[in-house]
């Protein structure tokens, strides 16, 4: 079964750090495009970051310089390292497999998401 | 950045009725790279449609997508109880990807 399972969410103070994990099964993270998408309480969906098959990454402007996406191929797991957290980062964070992204000669593009994890809640509050 | 505007904000219908949801883009969506998702509260989104009109694997044929350029529509032919959810459109293929604000489909 193709599946994604997130973990690592919790309550953190403003300015703090947290690392989210997303364990994949049924497919290989090293040959996939994977994104993080978040959803603030009662709000819509916001794309956060992507790691492409080749290992290059991209981020939403709202998290650039604070969040880092990575993967461990041996563990078939995706990560999101979050630093300098703010109240507005409070959200459920989903990892999602991108089946429609692609890389052209000079740039890569995020696609659509066919597999989603169940989400993990990050709360930033003092 | 492409802004997606969904309408209506809330749609109240009864099981068995037909639902029509709209998604309008602030500029033309490249190659009609437009997806639709359904989200039941407390659950992750589920992909319904991609490339504007292609049903994702396992999605029943009562769901159909149409449109091109800046105007897209999701139609649900005959509503089943499990279809009452929040629906989001998303464009892709250009950066950054964005989602619409959602349409809540509720039981009348």
Mind listing the pLDDT tens digit for each residue in A4-15? 999 999 999 999
| CB spacing of B99 vs A46 below 8 angstroms | yes
Instruction: Find all residues with CB under 8 Å of B74, minimum gap 6, and list them.
Output: B19, B20, B21, B23, B36, B48, B49, B63, B64, B65, B87, B89
pLDDT digits (tens, 9 = 90+) for A65-83: 999 999 999 999 999 999 9
A44 chain-B contacts, CB cut-off 8 A: 88, 99-102
| Total beta-carbon pairs less than 8 A apart between chain A and chain B | 60
Put simply, whether B14 touches A (Cβ < 8 Å) is: no
pLDDT at site B95: 85
Under-50 pLDDT residues of chain B: none
Q: What are phi and psi of B93, to 5 degrees?
A: 95, -15
| CB spacing of A109 vs B57 below 8 angstroms | no
pLDDT at site A99: 92
Closest residue in chain B to residue A103, using alpha carbons only: B93
Cα–Cα distance for residue pair A69/A58, rounded to 1 Å: 8
pLDDT at site B94: 86
Distance set, CA B22 to CA A38, A41, B66, B103 (Å) = 23, 24, 10, 9
Helices (H) and strands (E) in chain A, counts: 0, 13
What mean pLDDT is predicted for residues A36-45? 98
Facing residue for B92 by CB, picked from A46, A110, A117: A110
Put simply, whether A117 touches B (Cβ < 8 Å) is: yes
What mean pLDDT is predicted for residues A86-96? 98
Instruction: Find all residues with CB under 8 Å of A45, minimum gap 6, and list them.
Output: A37, A38, A39, B37, B45, B88, B90, B99
């Amino acid at each position: 079964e193709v599946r994604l399972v997130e973990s690592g969410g919790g309550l953190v103070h403003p300015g703090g750090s947290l690392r989210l994990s997303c364990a994949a099964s049924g497919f290989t993270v090293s040959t996939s495009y994977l994104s993080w998408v978040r959803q603030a309480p009662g709000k819509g969906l916001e794309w956060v970051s992507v790691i492409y098959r080749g290992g290059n990454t991209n981020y939403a402007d709202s998290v650039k310089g604070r969040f880092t996406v990575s993967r461990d191929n041996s563990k078939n797991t995706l990560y999101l390292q979050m630093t300098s957290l703010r109240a507005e980062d409070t959200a459920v964070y989903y990892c999602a497999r991108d089946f429609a992204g692609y890389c052209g000669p000079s740039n890569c593009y995020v696609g659509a998401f066919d597999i989603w994890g169940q989400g993990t809640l990050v709360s930033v509050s003092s | 950045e492409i802004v997606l505007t969904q309408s209506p904000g809330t749609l109240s219908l009864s099981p068995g009725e037909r639902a029509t949801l709209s998604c309008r883009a602030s500029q033309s969506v490249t190659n009609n790279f437009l997806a639709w998702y359904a989200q039941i509260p407390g659950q992750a989104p589920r992909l319904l449609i991609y490339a504007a009109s292609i049903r994702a694997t396992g999605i029943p044929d009562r769901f159909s997508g149409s449109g091109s350029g800046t105007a897209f529509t999701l139609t649900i032919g005959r509503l089943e109880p499990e279809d009452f959810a929040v629906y989001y459109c998303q464009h892709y293929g250009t950066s950054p990807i964005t989602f619409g604000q959602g349409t809540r489909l509720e039981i009348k």
